[in-house]
Amino acid sequence: MAFDFIDQHLATRKEQHLYRQRVLIEQQNARHLVHNGKQYLNFSSNDYLGLNHHPKINAALNEGAEKYGVCSSGSSLLTGFNYAHQYLENVICQWQNKDKCLLFNSGFSANFASLNAFAQPSAAIWLDKLSHASLLDGAFSQQAKVKRFLHNDYQQLNNLINTSSYRDHLIVSEGIFSMDGDGADINALAKVAQQHQAKLYIDDAHSIGITGNEGQGSSSVSNDIDIIMATFGKALATSGAFIACDNYTYEYLVNVSRHYIYSTAMSPAIAWATAKSIELVISESWRREKIAHLSQLLKQSLNTQITLLPTASSIHALVLGSEQLAMQSAETLKQYGIWLSAIRPPTVPKGSSRLRVTITSSHKEQDIKYLAECVNKVIGKNDR
Ligand SMILES: Cc1ncc(COP(=O)(O)O)c(C=O)c1O
């Protein structure tokens, strides 16, 4: 039968406990969500700084819509690039200490577009093993050599580049890794890049807003990152993404990036709201401090046999192993009113299925204590 691969594919996914479904969320903020009329504590939100629904961002969205429109009505290279975009780009350039910035409709397209543009036949792209799907898809979309180095293993990265005959090298890593919550050593990566005249590309989707005294992410650690990508859909609580880079890279992307050239520019209203969000991210450092405090509290409140992967971020991974165990544990926690995500392959390696807890600045100490109490009950015996 024509297209019977669809049936086969779905059946295999079900058998392997890898079947995915959407869930309808009736309401949510960075502390609670409502599903099927029931309220849960939300430990699955990327709204790390609790800025979604912020009245100042909503007001800026309305103002941006009034002044510049909800829709850009064109590609950035035709009539879609307007004052709201330019203003946001300037804010980002200053924040990130970069010459230029380009706005995209999502982090996925920003990563794909940029890596696709660099994946030329003369180039080798070296990605951390835990790199996001959008980075992999972009890197593999052309004719470059693509190789993944062991997670945060810069000795191996150095050896690999040493033995490579390619002329152009692009090193790619995330600032904070999305599924483990740990970070790259940006200075060590910059050193390897310098040794090989390589370009360094950092995906700061989960660091932006969270690390750095002004929430500027990896650029707070080093000025030697050539290209920084970060999305607006997580800590910044709007939508879209930026690439910050030098003049030269900017000119190249504007001329070759098909996602940029052949796509309607992001909503001007959202660009205006995002500039307001960045203003809040910079000035309200208490939000970052609260995440650090609550993360520490979670670690202290869990049983000794329950290990969280070490992290300096909002993301805390509780690795359980099998897909089934991760799914069952997430379901049981729902009965206690706790919503967190079970993460399974192919998002994480086989045998490392996990519960991914995200702590936001909207959580309260009592939420974290209750979470630890329930996790201790569901996953380990309470021996503290
Ligand atoms: C590391 C990383 N990069 C890129 C993306 C894609 O960003 P966006 O959701 O804006 O498409 C995500 C998340 O979705 C991510 O976790």
Residue 304 binned pLDDT confidence (cut-offs 50, 70, 90): confident
* 8-state DSSP, 167: S
For the segment 52-70, the average pLDDT, to the nearest whole number, is: 98
Q: Are residues 149 and 86 in the same domain?
A: yes
Neighbour-count burial for 64-102, b at 16+ CB within 10 Å, e otherwise? bbeebeeebeeebeeebbbebbebbbebbbebbebebbb
Active-site hit among 47, 89, 128, 174:
174
> Is residue 8 domain-resident?
no
Number of domains in the chain: 2
For the segment 49-55, the average pLDDT, to the nearest whole number, is: 98
- Judge whether residue 382 has pLDDT over 50: no
Q: Are residues 271 and 345 in the same domain?
A: no
Q: Are residues 96 and 231 in the same domain?
A: yes
Active-site hit among 85, 98, 199, 234:
234
Q: Are residues 171 and 205 in the same domain?
A: yes
Residue 383 binned pLDDT confidence (cut-offs 50, 70, 90): very low
Ligand 1 atom 7 nearest Cα: 107
Q: Which domain holds residue 84?
A: 55-283
- Output the domain CATH number for residue 360: 3.90.1150.10
Ligand 1 atom 16 nearest Cα: 178
> Is residue 1 domain-resident?
no
Q: How many CB atoms lie within 10 A of CB 224?
A: 14
For the segment 343-355, the average pLDDT, to the nearest whole number, is: 86
Last residue of a domain, one of 252, 283, 314: 283
Cα 279 to averaged position of ligand 1 atoms, centre (Å): 22
Q: Are residues 247 and 103 in the same domain?
A: yes
- Judge whether residue 380 has pLDDT over 80: no
231-259: per-residue pLDDT in tens? 999 999 999 999 999 999 999 999 999 99
Quick check: is 257 catalytic? no
Residues 94, 118 contacting (CB under 8 angstroms): no
* 8-state DSSP, 217: G
> Is residue 11 domain-resident?
no
Q: Are residues 75 and 41 in the same domain?
A: no
Q: Are residues 143 and 175 in the same domain?
A: yes
> Is residue 7 domain-resident?
no
- Output the domain CATH number for residue 135: 3.40.640.10
Backbone angles phi, psi at 42, to 5 degrees: -95, 105
CA 83 to CA 63: how far, in whole Å? Answer: 13
Quick check: is 203 catalytic? yes
Q: Are residues 226 and 328 in the same domain?
A: no
- What is the rounded (10 degree) CA torsion for 167, 100, 133, 130? 70
Q: Are residues 374 and 278 in the same domain?
A: no
Residue 381 binned pLDDT confidence (cut-offs 50, 70, 90): low
Q: Are residues 227 and 322 in the same domain?
A: no
